[in-house]
Chains A and B, each alone.
Chain A
Amino acid sequence: MADDVAQSRGARVMNTYLVFIRVMPQLALLFIAFYGFARAWNWNLDATGACVLVFVLWGGAELGDLVRGALVSIPAIQYESAYMLGLTPWQTFTRVILPQALRRLLPGSVNLSTRIVKTTSLAVLLGVVEVIKVGQQIIDAHRFDYPQGTLWVYGVIFLMYFIVCWPLSLAARALERRWAD
């Protein structure tokens, strides 16, 4: 089965995509998308567009790899039992394989989402006005009236990231408990 997949042309293309995206540092991907595309094909992405493109491609590659890992980790006997019981391939996938794969996917995918959220902070290096940039602007604007402000502003930014990521890990933990096996 693995051989068939490896031989198909689509799989080879996807594999190359996966390897390329995963070995590159996210910052390098951002620079390629922002400066490289413009240079090479005169394709002018604005900074936000470049970020969206890179995070979609990168997140997609990482999540795809997690899904693949979860699917291949299901023992062959699960497919074989389903075959013997007369289930169709679709029933096997939706009733037997997918529920198990989703469960195995959970910890890794939550970890990935928090990593993506945190990595978006790199966008500031392309000049995207995101939380850190706005924070810096606030600090700069009030440098003289509130010299202590720096700590507070970054503290609030920390809290904002926390508010996005923490519920994710909470939900994941709750689901893991409920699905425990």
Chain B
Amino acid sequence: MFTRSRTNTTRRQADRITQPDTAERFPGLRMEGVTKRYANADHDVLHDISLDVPRGKVLVVVGPSGSGKSTLLRAVAGLEPIQGGEILLNGDIIGQGRPGTKAAGYAPRPAALRTRIGMVFQSYDLFPNRNVLDNVTMAPVLVLKRDKRNVEQEALRLLERVGLRDRADAKPHELSGGQRQRVAICRAMIMHPELLLLDEITASLDPEMVREVLDVVLDLADGGQTMMIVTHEMAFARAVADEVVMLENGGIVERSDNPEQFFTHPRTRRAQEFLETFEFARRHRG
């Protein structure tokens, strides 16, 4: 089973939050009334979503397919402009929408804000024309203008941490799916993102590779990395989550800061029904 050393988490968090926080500068991610409608759509994909991911915490987003989980993460990432509401990261407005905001293309967000959020997708993230090390070092060198030697050393340490230091020279196509996702995590983490977004990063993996990727994520959670995770791995969700929200039809059906309770005794009927779809039972025996 998946486990997390929570004591560790709280200690690391205490280290990180040093400056006093005023009410306006909420530490972490704050979404206020976020509404998203795709171009040419006749209804909102996300409707008036408000939620917080406090710094150092992990929010797991669950919900049936098509409920808007990916759109939610993409809106936070700036990959989808929003048509209403506000998104704040550690007190800075990173996204704002009004009715009539253009619905297609990326949100107009400067690189300095984009690099504060990391994202790993379901697949095909890595740049196939570059080897593992170059994939990880490209953005810090090109965008943050950091010293290349320095970045390479940090990249190798990160790869070491996910057990892939010896594959630094490999091309992405020479890696297994699980290894590729671990590299993608390193590529995001080397930017020291204030928030890491993971959208079903194990959904296209063979079952035996899921574990190696999720263990890395648990490790990040223990290190106090603020994350928003969409996953269908319920055992993992239960282990990694500090908070859970369930989406359906673009709205929040249930939210809980007690994952244990959410996954065993959800309050709403919809959440019960949803969680039951992950359980198997034989109705007839013998």
Contact = CB atoms under 8 A, between A and B. Distances in A.
Given A84-B118, A88-B111, A181-B173, A1 B138 contact: no
B157 interface: no
Interface residues of A, number: 20
Interface string A84-104: 111110010001100110010
Interface stretch (A21-29, A72-80, A147-155, A157-165): A72-80
A100 B173 CA distance: 13
Contacts of B171: 181
B138 A95 contact: yes
Closest 3 CB pairs of A and B: A85-B139, A86-B111, A86-B115
A78 B127 contact: yes
B79 A83 contact: yes
A83 B106 contact: yes
B111 to A, nearest CB: 4
Contact of B114 (A86, A96, A179): A86
Contacts of B263: none
Nearest to B134: A95
B236 interface: no
5 contacts: A77-B125, A80-B79, A84-B119, A85-B138, A86-B111
Interface of B: 77-79, 104-106, 111-112, 114-115, 117-119, 121, 123-129, 138-139, 142-144, 171-173, 187-188, 191
B79 A86 contact: no
Contact of A85 (B105, B121, B143): B143
B124 A91 contact: no
A100 B128 contact: yes
Q: Is the interface of B mostly helix, strand, loop or mixed?
A: loop
A15 interface: no
A103 B114 contact: no
Contacts of B143: 85-87, 91
Nearest to B184: A81
A86 B191 CA distance: 10
A85 B126 CA distance: 12
Contacts of B118: 84
A80 B123 CA distance: 12
Contacts of B187: 85
A86 B111 CA distance: 5
Given A80-B79, A85-B139, A85-B191, 10 more contacts: A81-B125, A83-B106, A86-B139, A86-B143, A91-B143, A100-B128, A100-B129, A103-B129, A181-B128, A181-B172
Contacts of B126: 81
A180 B111 CA distance: 32
A84 B76 CA distance: 11
B94 to A, nearest CB: 13
Given A78-B124, A100-B129, A84 B117 contact: yes
A104 B112 CA distance: 32
Contacts of B104: 1
A88 B123 CA distance: 22
Contacts of A87: 111, 139, 142-143
Interface string A164-181: 000000000000000101
B121 A80 contact: yes
Nearest to A179: B129
Nearest to B112: A86
